[in-house]
Amino acid sequence: MTAGRATNVPAAEHGTAFAFRDARVDDLAEIVAIYNATIPGRGVTADLEPVSVESRLAWFDAHDATRRPLWIASTGGRIVGWLSFSDFYGRPAYGASVEVSIYLSETVRRQGLGRTFLERAIAVAPGLGVKTLLGFIFGHNEASLRLFEGLGFGRWGNLPCVASLDGVERDLVIVGLRVDAGPDGTTRRIA
Ligand SMILES: CC(C)(COP(=O)(O)OP(=O)(O)OC[C@H]1O[C@@H](n2cnc3c(N)ncnc32)[C@H](O)[C@@H]1OP(=O)(O)O)[C@@H](O)C(=O)NCCC(=O)NCCS
């Protein structure tokens, strides 16, 4: 999924074929809609109210296919999910570390798309100069923790009760994975 190239992946065991490509700015409304749909459930993000498309333009512009990709997945002509690499902390010394975010429409969950996205992120990371992948996940987001841990991420941190969601204090778990390119060019996970 380098710049401008689209790929199709049939999720054979689930019967749905998803197409993947780099996001374009005219996808942003759908990307934001998928994100906003997760807010009321209070299980995924610390945003408490829907965000506007305009407010996410700077975030969109901070992505580029060669360093900090933003990918979309679609099926039946509709965008149904996205994955982004974002700077961690924003300071130069952290340049080889990224935060990975994945958001899918509810209609396509549990069909292997989250795993496919994350496997692809791990596979391309060394080629993008990324050595450390991080996930910032609420402690009660079981689906996401299982997804990341199932692909080798370890629990690197627990920030207890740092979020308050409708008066309920929630933990933030930091999961991480170190990667490099092995001799055959494929990604190795480093313990
Ligand atoms: C988390 C999320 C990306 C998972 O994607 P998905 O396509 O539904 O997950 P997959 O079908 O690829 O499942 C991969 C693994 O994740 C775990 N998993 C996914 N959904 C789960 C659920 N509802 N309950 C428990 N485990 C779950 C399982 O370990 C699963 O492996 P298995 O099928 O062998 O049991 C998706 O639920 C989502 O978009 N959630 C809202 C956004 C979010 O929480 N993002 C994470 C923060 S960045």
What's residue 8's pLDDT? 63
Q: How far is the CA of 47 from the centre of ligand 1 (A)?
A: 20
What's residue 12's pLDDT? 43
Q: How far is the CA of 143 from the centre of ligand 1 (A)?
A: 4
Ligand 1 binding pocket (C-beta < 6 A) is 38, 44, 101-104, 109-115, 137, 141-144, 146-147, 150
- 3-state secondary structure string, the chain? CCCCCCEEEEECCCCEEEEEEECCHHHHHHHHHHHHHHCCCCCCCCCCCCCCCHHHHHHHHCCECCCECEEEEEECCEEEEEEEEEECCCCHHHCCEEEEEEEECHHHCCCCHHHHHHHHHHHHCHHHCCCEEEEEEECCCHHHHHHHHHCCCEEEEEEEEEEEECCEEEEEEEEEEEEEECCCCCEEEEC
What's residue 132's pLDDT? 98
Q: How far is the CA of 124 from the centre of ligand 1 (A)?
A: 21
- Write out residues in the chain with pLDDT < 70, as ranges: 1-13
Ligand 1 atom closest to residue 109's alpha carbon, by position in its atom list: 8
Residue of 109, 111, 133 best suited for mutating to test ligand 1, as the one with most atoms within 8 Å of CB:
109
What's residue 11's pLDDT? 52
What's residue 10's pLDDT? 54
What's residue 9's pLDDT? 61
**Atom 25 in ligand 1: residue holding the nearest Cα:** 143
What's residue 70's pLDDT? 98
What's residue 69's pLDDT? 98
What's residue 4's pLDDT? 44
Q: How far is the CA of 114 from the centre of ligand 1 (A)?
A: 6
Q: What is the pTM of this model?
A: 0.94
